[in-house]
């Protein structure tokens, strides 16, 4: 069903052993030079990462392909070794799985942002001032009470976190040929989910009707007076992480989105920490029972999206200070990287390559004792695609047999 030749080859070569691989994702860690001041990694004081870089392999990865800006879902699928150009899924499914919603095969899920629109219907704040969970829950209860679902369709609304929510449509013969309504900009109106090329989809028109009702229901709200929907999707039928790689995986992730992408490929979520110290401690603990641990740190991305350079530097330093706990557990292979770059100057994800640090046996070594974008672009690993990183780690851990005679 899926034309993923490289992934199929890696799967055919996979071997089981007791070596431990840890993938520590500092979400959105990559950066630009901030008007000559240096990237956040360059400006941060990171003695532990720098010392580790001096005895590790470094490099950079392109999450999707040159010039393509990745979403969080594709960025993480790439790190899990799934070619994101082949394995595509909307963010709605990831959000649903992240909050453990009972998603069914006939469902269509969408990730929602509460937003603020002005009297002319133009978006003024795509995140509605980052409302709290309590406001989110109150508003969803209001929607549930007043919404009149179209015939034959059940509609579910659930809180994810802050300004983020989930919408699920359940019914027979629904499709996910539905356009995102988030214009990804302010000063313009939300987009229609039924615009071309989605105008032939009956489900897109159902989504349009539901969103129109929600706009009327929320008209009197001071901030969260509209929703933006994206990532409409149904649950895909993919091979699991264990089936592909013969690894016993675990996820340590505090945010629903990243728990969702882990569950999508069958990675068990064993804990939900959010601070750097807790993430490193929980990842070290998970190593005792699992041969692959995915550990996720959100705040390097969040500060980047907020345009907060000093905050991003602080979060990088927070992870550096926590790192000795994970190093003491002595994973056989430790990867530190990101799923994409989030430069504060852009306040958004970007297409820039992402730095990689890989502590592993059998490396060539001799590189600089510095972990940042400039050092990494000249490192031993070179520039690879994101989907190649896990196979490289597996090779260093003795988990791939020889190809051919």
Q: What is the CATH number of the domain that holds 122?
A: 3.30.70
Q: Give residue 328's pLDDT band: very low, low, confident or very high (50, 70, 90).
A: very high
CA angle 60/65/67 to nearest 5° reads 95
Domain for residue 361, yes or no? yes
C-alpha torsion sign, points 98, 101, 104, 107: negative
Q: Give residue 161's pLDDT band: very low, low, confident or very high (50, 70, 90).
A: confident
Domain for residue 402, yes or no? no
Q: Give residue 95's pLDDT band: very low, low, confident or very high (50, 70, 90).
A: confident
How many CB atoms within 10 Å of residue 404?
3
**One domain, residues 62 and 10:** yes
**One domain, residues 317 and 363:** yes
Domain for residue 176, yes or no? yes
Domain for residue 401, yes or no? no
**One domain, residues 53 and 178:** no
Cα–Cα distance for residue pair 142/219, rounded to 1 Å:
12
Cα–Cα distance for residue pair 300/136, rounded to 1 Å:
24
| pLDDT computed for residue 257 by the predictor | 84
In the predicted model, what is the mean pLDDT of residues 189-203? 96
In the predicted model, what is the mean pLDDT of residues 57-79? 96
For 289-319, what is each residue's pLDDT tens digit?
A: 999 999 999 999 999 999 999 999 999 999 9
**One domain, residues 315 and 224:** no
| pLDDT computed for residue 251 by the predictor | 98
| pLDDT computed for residue 325 by the predictor | 98
In the predicted model, what is the mean pLDDT of residues 22-35? 97
Last residue of a domain, one of 233, 260, 287: 233
Domain for residue 404, yes or no? no
3-class SS string, the chain = CCCCHHHHHHHHHECCCCCCEEEEEECCEECCCCCCCCCHHHHCCCHHHHHHHHCCEEEEEECCCCCCCCCHHHHHHHHCCCCCCCCCCCHHHHHHHHCCCCCCCCCEEEEEEEEEECCCCCEEECCCCCCCHHHHHHHHHHHHHHCCCCCCCEEEEEEEECCEEEEEEECCCCCCCCCCCCCCCCCCCCCCCCCCCCCCCHHHHHHHHHHHHHHHHCCCCCCCCEEEEEEEECCCCCCCHHHHHCCCEEEECCCHHHHHHHHHCCCEEEECCCCHHHHHHHHHHHCCCCCEEEEEECHHHHHHHCCCHHHHHHHHHHHHHHHHHHHHCCCCEEEEECCCECCCCCCCCECCCEEEEEECCCCCCCCCCCCCHHHHCCCCCEEEEHHHHHHHHHHHCCCECCCCC
For 111-152, what is each residue's pLDDT tens digit?
A: 999 999 999 999 999 999 999 999 999 999 999 999 999 999
For 365-374, what is each residue's pLDDT tens digit?
A: 878 899 999 9
Domain hosting 351: range is 5-88+238-396
Domain for residue 251, yes or no? yes
Comparing 220 with 4, the larger pLDDT belongs to 220
In the predicted model, what is the mean pLDDT of residues 258-266? 91
Domain for residue 46, yes or no? yes
**One domain, residues 349 and 376:** yes
Domain for residue 403, yes or no? no
Cα–Cα distance for residue pair 345/349, rounded to 1 Å:
10
Question: Residue 2 pLDDT more than 60?
Answer: no
In the predicted model, what is the mean pLDDT of residues 326-339? 98
In the predicted model, what is the mean pLDDT of residues 68-86? 95
| pLDDT computed for residue 179 by the predictor | 96
| pLDDT computed for residue 3 by the predictor | 64
| pLDDT computed for residue 237 by the predictor | 86
Calculate the dihedral angle through the C-alpha atoms of 94, 100, 104, 106, rounding to the nearest 10 degrees: -40
**One domain, residues 304 and 276:** yes
């Amino acid at each position: 069903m899926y034309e993923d030749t490289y992934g199929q080859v890696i799967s055919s070569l996979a071997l089981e052993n007791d070596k431990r691989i840890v993938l520590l994702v500092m979400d959105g860690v990559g950066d630009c030079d901030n008007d000559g001041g240096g990237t956040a990694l360059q400006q941060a004081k990171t003695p532990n990462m720098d010392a580790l870089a001096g005895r590790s392999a470094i490099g950079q990865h392109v999450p999707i392909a040159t010039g393509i800006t990745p979403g969080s879902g594709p960025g993480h699928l790439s790190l899990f070794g799934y070619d994101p150009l082949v394995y595509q899924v909307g963010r709605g499914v990831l959000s649903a799985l992240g909050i453990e919603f009972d998603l069914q095969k006939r469902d269509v899920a969408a990730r929602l942002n509460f937003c603020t629109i002005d009297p002319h219907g133009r978006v003024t704040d795509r995140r509605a001032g980052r409302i709290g969970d309590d406001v989110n829950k109150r508003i969803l209860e209001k929607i549930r009470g007043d919404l009149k679902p179209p015939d034959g369709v059940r509609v579910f609304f659930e809180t994810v976190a802050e300004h983020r929510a989930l919408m699920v449509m359940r019914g027979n013969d629904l499709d996910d040929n539905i356009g995102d309504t988030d214009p990804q900009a302010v000063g313009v109106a939300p987009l229609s989910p039924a615009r071309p090329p989605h105008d032939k989809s009956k489900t897109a028109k159902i989504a349009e009707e539901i969103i129109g009702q929600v706009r009327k229901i929320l008209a009197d709200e001071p901030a969260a007076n509209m929703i933006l929907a994206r990532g409409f999707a149904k649950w895909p039928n993919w091979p699991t992480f264990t089936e592909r790689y013969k690894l016993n995986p675990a996820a340590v992730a505090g945010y629903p989105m990243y728990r969702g992408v882990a569950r999508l490929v069958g990675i068990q979520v064993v804990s939900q920490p959010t601070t750097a110290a807790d993430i490193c401690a929980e990842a070290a603990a998970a190593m005792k029972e699992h041969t692959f641990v995915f550990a996720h740190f959100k705040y390097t991305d969040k500060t980047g999206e907020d345009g907060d350079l000093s905050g991003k530097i602080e979060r990088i330093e927070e992870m550096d200070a926590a790192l000795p706990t994970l190093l003491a557990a002595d994973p056989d292979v430790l990867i530190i990287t990101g799923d994409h770059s989030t430069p504060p100057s852009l306040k958004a994800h970007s297409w820039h390559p992402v730095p990689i640090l890989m502590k592993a046996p059998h490396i060539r070594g001799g590189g600089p004792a510095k972990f940042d974008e400039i050092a990494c672009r000249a490192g031993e690993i070179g520039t690879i695609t994101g989907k190649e990183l896990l196979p490289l780690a597996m090779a260093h851990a003795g988990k791939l047999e020889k190809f051919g005679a």
